[in-house]
Chain A
Amino acid sequence: MGKKKEVDDRFKKFGTVSFAAITKINDFVTSLEEGKVMGTRCTDCGMMLFPPRADCHQCLASNMEWFEVSGTGKLVTYSKLEYAPMGFKEDLPYSIAVLDYGDYKVFGRIASDVPEDQIKLGMEMKTVANELPNKQLNYVFQQIG
């Protein structure tokens, strides 16, 4: 019989605990390994999408190109967790947040080395690829300068 088909399950590396393994945008994880956080742009209508998507709901096309989440975004809001859901206790304490880049927003974590007293809503931050203690990958928001 034929050889077992290789499964592209790269997405299982995303986050402290990943809840999905197979997706059409698995290249996102390979970019994270290379230190880049990428979104997708629809080549038909130009819409910028983060998180990246394989399909554009505006023009129903699936012609996407990758763009790098670069420059800075404004901190819209955040919360510091003192209690974690199952599977995340080792990461405590950590802060989840939203950054606004204008054309799109990014949901993620604030880097653990940012002192809480320096976090202010509206501050400019950048999104960077990050390796977690358990060797999984995610991205975090860092202070500028």
Chain B
Amino acid sequence: MGKVGIIGVGQSTFVRQYPGSIRELVFEGFKEAMQDAQLTTKDIDASVVCSAPEYDKQRSPAGVFAEYLGLNPQPTFYVETLCSSSSTGLKLAYSLVASGLHDVVAVLGFQKMSEISSAESQERMGRGADIQWESPFGTMMPAYYAMYANAHMETYGTTPEDLAMIRVKAGTYGQLNDKAAFRKGITMEMFADPENRMAGPVASPLRTGDCCANADGSSCVIVASEEKAKAFSKKPIWILGLGAASTTVNLAGRDLFTGLTVAQQAAQQAYQMAGITPKEIDVAEVHDCFTIAEMMAYENLGFAEPGQGKELIRAKETYKEGRIPVNVDGGLLSKGHPIGATGGSQIRTIVLQLRGEAGDIQVKDPEIGLVHNIGGVGLYGNVTVLGR
């Protein structure tokens, strides 16, 4: 079996409210990736569309996008794992190419969250949990992750200040990312000031500043067989490892509340497939839907021992110049989190890093990068290892 490469990446600017329809939004990410790969639509053999349902009214969006993007009569279909939908899309594209069924596959992630109110959106996300046994209690994403934060703090002595440091880092790099929805710098003083919006309680112990915000956005990743990748691209980025895992939806079925088992398992699989250890990762994108999620990612990916994640951020080891730079594009916390588009945006960042095309946020000469993308409350875990 030959290698599978990424030859084009693109994303729309992530915004609070996109002034257009979902097909127009998806066109933006697609166009950037197609221009990046210098392809025409007839070069694309199949497309995979990725999002979480019920934010817009369109059912079966794959057909609509194939029409709008000029990808008929090629096959197209839809996949969903909530916030990790486009990492799952990448895994499917890899399988389609590795199996020899198709040579070039476009992975299209999108979400237009602004069509509904914030409280409705919390209800939708809450219904990504167990609607029969959890949602009737009034659950929402920040509260679920807050339960992990509470257990992590109690077990390891992680503090609200440690979590705030992660948000400050995200703000540092969000300012440099012209695709990010939130480009303001964040300071520790904001978290310390009870009058400041950042310090406002959402679900204890998480504050407004600990949570990413909804956004509208699209992303596109174009995957190709080794032969096509070498023919089309001067700098193909190779998919070296893929891991994915699931766990119980209902938190009552889980044993670990200080980390995500799906991330541990997906990372293990991806490292094994790539034949590497965590030490060999030069740059990483992790799913920081909440500050605590990035803290747990440090530990679940093996960048730090369990409970030692706080030492990484305190020593600024996850900054651009540190031992393991994480989310130097501002992460979900600064970019915003358009559910189905997020994984593709993370992949785009790592591809640009490995090509040496990341501009102001370029990490020094990285060879191997990692993407950690989680769906739901640690429900679906996806880890992808990429290399030059």
Q: Which of B224-232, B251-259, B339-347 is the contact stretch?
A: B251-259
Select which of A11, A20, A23, A96 is within 8 A of B138 by beta carbon: A96
Asked whether, in the complex, the Cβ of B203 is within 8 Å of the Cβ of A94, the reply is: no
Asked whether, in the complex, the Cβ of A82 is within 8 Å of the Cβ of B252, the reply is: no
**Chain A 49-92 near chain B by CB (<8 Å), digits 1 or 0:** 01100000000000000000000000011111111111111010
Cβ < 8 Å to A, chain B residues 137-151: 137-140, 142-144, 146-151
Interface size range of chain B in the complex:
35 or more
Asked whether, in the complex, the Cβ of A79 is within 8 Å of the Cβ of B131, the reply is: no
Assess A84 versus B138: contact at CB under 8 Å? Given A19-B132, A79-B203.
yes
User: Which A residues touch B120, using CB under 8 A?
Assistant: 86
Report if B28 contacts A (CB, 8 A): no
Asked whether, in the complex, the Cβ of B136 is within 8 Å of the Cβ of A23, the reply is: no
Report if B1 contacts A (CB, 8 A): no
User: Which A residues touch B130, using CB under 8 A?
Assistant: 51, 107
User: Which A residues touch B146, using CB under 8 A?
Assistant: 79
Report if B233 contacts A (CB, 8 A): no
User: Which B residues touch A51, using CB under 8 A?
Assistant: 130, 132-133, 250, 252
**Chain B 198-228 near chain A by CB (<8 Å), digits 1 or 0:** 0011111110000000000000000000000
Asked whether, in the complex, the Cβ of B150 is within 8 Å of the Cβ of A77, the reply is: yes
CA A118 – CA B123 in complex, angstroms? 29
* Max chain B C-beta neighbours (<10 A), residue from A17, A88, A91, A109: A88
Assess A85 versus B203: contact at CB under 8 Å? Given A23-B132, A77-B148, A79-B150.
no
Distance in angstroms from B32 CB to nearest chain A CB is 34
User: Which A residues touch B200, using CB under 8 A?
Assistant: 82
Report if B122 contacts A (CB, 8 A): yes
User: Which A residues touch B253, using CB under 8 A?
Assistant: 105
Cβ < 8 Å to A, chain B residues 84-124: 117, 119-120, 122-123
Asked whether, in the complex, the Cβ of B138 is within 8 Å of the Cβ of A81, the reply is: yes
Asked whether, in the complex, the Cβ of A94 is within 8 Å of the Cβ of B150, the reply is: no
CA A107 – CA B150 in complex, angstroms? 15
CA A91 – CA B137 in complex, angstroms? 10
CA A16 – CA B204 in complex, angstroms? 21
Asked whether, in the complex, the Cβ of A16 is within 8 Å of the Cβ of B138, the reply is: yes
Assess A138 versus B203: contact at CB under 8 Å? Given A51-B252, A86-B120, A105-B252.
no
Assess A50 versus B252: contact at CB under 8 Å? Given A15-B135, A17-B136, A138-B136.
yes
Distance in angstroms from A107 CB to nearest chain B CB is 4
Distance in angstroms from A13 CB to nearest chain B CB is 10
User: Which B residues touch A80, using CB under 8 A?
Assistant: 203-204
Asked whether, in the complex, the Cβ of B131 is within 8 Å of the Cβ of A20, the reply is: yes
Select which of B132, B139, B151, B205 is within 8 A of A76 by beta carbon: B151
CA A105 – CA B132 in complex, angstroms? 16
Distance in angstroms from A24 CB to nearest chain B CB is 11
Report if B23 contacts A (CB, 8 A): no
Select which of B138, B254, B257 is within 8 A of A85 by beta carbon: B138
Report if B126 contacts A (CB, 8 A): yes
User: Which A residues touch B250, using CB under 8 A?
Assistant: 51, 107
User: Which A residues touch B201, using CB under 8 A?
Assistant: 82
Asked whether, in the complex, the Cβ of A77 is within 8 Å of the Cβ of B136, the reply is: no
Asked whether, in the complex, the Cβ of B131 is within 8 Å of the Cβ of A78, the reply is: no
Asked whether, in the complex, the Cβ of B150 is within 8 Å of the Cβ of A96, the reply is: no
Asked whether, in the complex, the Cβ of A77 is within 8 Å of the Cβ of B257, the reply is: yes
Assess A107 versus B137: contact at CB under 8 Å? Given A19-B132, A50-B252.
yes
Asked whether, in the complex, the Cβ of B252 is within 8 Å of the Cβ of A106, the reply is: yes
Report if B127 contacts A (CB, 8 A): yes
Asked whether, in the complex, the Cβ of A86 is within 8 Å of the Cβ of B123, the reply is: yes
User: Which A residues touch B149, using CB under 8 A?
Assistant: 79
Asked whether, in the complex, the Cβ of B131 is within 8 Å of the Cβ of A19, the reply is: yes
**Chain A 29-46 near chain B by CB (<8 Å), digits 1 or 0:** 000000000000000000
CA A23 – CA B131 in complex, angstroms? 12
Distance in angstroms from A37 CB to nearest chain B CB is 12
Asked whether, in the complex, the Cβ of B136 is within 8 Å of the Cβ of A16, the reply is: yes
Report if B54 contacts A (CB, 8 A): no
21 contacts between A and B (CB under 8 A): A16-B136, A18-B136, A51-B130, A51-B133, A79-B143, A79-B146, A80-B203, A81-B140, A82-B201, A82-B202, A83-B203, A85-B126, A86-B122, A86-B123, A88-B138, A96-B147, A107-B134, A107-B251, A109-B138, A121-B150, A121-B154
List B residues at the A interface (Cβ < 8 Å): 117, 119-120, 122-123, 126-127, 130-140, 142-144, 146-151, 154, 200-206, 250-254, 257
Known: A82-B203, A85-B139, A105-B254. 7 other contacts (CB 8 A): A15-B136, A17-B136, A51-B252, A79-B143, A79-B204, A79-B206, A86-B119
- Top 7 closest A-B pairs, CB basis? A15-B136, A88-B138, A79-B146, A19-B131, A85-B123, A85-B122, A86-B123
